[in-house]
Amino acid sequence: MILSGKAMVAGVMGWPVGHSRSPRLHGYWLESYGIDGTYVPLPVPAGKVEQALRALPVLGLRGCNLTVPHKEAAAKAVDRLDPAARRIGAVNTVVVHPDGSLEGRNTDAFGFIENLREGAPRWDATAGPAVVLGAGGAARAVVAALLDAGVPEVRLANRTRARAEELAADFGGPVTVMPWEWRGRALADAGLLVNTTTQGMAGQPPLEIDLATLPPSATVTDIVYTPLVTPLLAAAKRRGNPLVDGIGMLLHQARPAFHAWFGLMPQVTPELRRFVLEGL
C-alpha cells in the first residue's frame, strides 16, 4: 500500500512487540478495504507507556492497541476510560480525540463474546453456569462479557485463590469462587467452560482437568490460540462437546478499534482467519 500525506496511522505498543499478530490483522483490513492508512508495531519498554501515549497526539496518530506489559499502566495514563475498561481495569485500545485527549477502551470482552457467538451459535447464556479458569486480565474481560450476556452464575477457579476472590469482589453479581482443586467438580451442570490460564499454550504443560462430569452439550473454549487446538480442546472434541478456538477473540477484539481509528467496522472472514493463522 502506497500512503498519501494524509494517511491515518495507528499501531500497537508492547514489549516485546515482535510476536504481535495485530499489524498483520489490521494491515489485511487496510489493504482489503483500500484505506489510506497504516498500522505499525511500536516497541515501548515497561515504564515508558505514559510517555509513549502522550506522544500519540503530538505525532498525529489516531491511537493504538496495548499489549503485554502495558494494559494496566495504560488505564492509569489516559484521560478517561470507557465503561468496559473501567470495569476490567485494563486498556487494550487508545483513541486520540480531536482535542488531543486520550480515551482508554477495552474491546477484549466484545472480542470474547463475538467469537463465542460466532463459533457456537447454539450456546445459550441463560442455560447454565459458566466455569472460568484463571483470574488474570483475560479472565476479567471474559467474566465481564459473560455477566453482560446474562449467564446465571460464573464459577471461577484460579490456582491463586486470592486473585479469584478479588475478581469476584470487584465484579459483584453471580460470581462464585471455587477451589482450584475442585475445578473438575464445578463442571457437572455447566453450559460453558472457558480456559483463560496460560496452561496448554505451546511451551507450557497442558491444563489438567477431568472433564468426566461435563455435560455433552456444554461448549468448551480456550483463549489460548498457539496451538489452535489446545490439549483441552482436543479432549473436549473427543467427548463430542461443541468447541470454540481462541483465534477468533483476537480477530473480533480488533474490529471496534479499527472502526474507531479508520472509520469502518471491518468483518471477520474465513480468508482473514487463514491469513492471520498463516503468520503464526
Catalytic positions are 71
- Residue 18 burial by CB count (10 A; 0-12/13-18/19+): exposed, middle or buried? exposed
Q: For ligand ATR, which is the closer residue by CB, 63 or 200?
A: 200
**Residues 147-186 within binding reach of ligand ATR (CB under 6 A):** 158-160, 163
Helices 247-262, 22-32: inter-axial angle, 10-degree rounding? 50
Among 198, 226, 227, 275, binds ligand ATR (CB under 6 A): 198
Under rule CB under 6 A, residue 230 binds ligand ATR = no
Q: For ligand ATR, which is the closer residue by CB, 117 or 159?
A: 159
Which among 250, 259, 23, 218 has a CA at the least distance from the CA of 115?
250
**CA 209 – CA 271 distance, rounded (Å):** 34
C-alpha cell at 154: 460464573
**CA 44 – CA 66 distance, rounded (Å):** 10
Q: Total number of residues binding ligand ATR (CB under 6 A)? A: 14
Q: For ligand ATR, which is the closer residue by CB, 139 or 233?
A: 139
Q: How far is the CB of 150 from ligand ATR (least distance, A)?
A: 23
Under rule CB under 6 A, residue 196 binds ligand ATR = yes
Residues 6+ apart with CB under 8 A from 63: 10, 56, 93, 94, 95, 96, 257, 260, 261
Among 128, 134, 191, 248, binds ligand ATR (CB under 6 A): 134
Q: How far is the CB of 107 from ligand ATR (least distance, A)?
A: 15
Site residues (CB under 6 A) for ligand ATR?
A: 134-139, 158-160, 163, 196-199
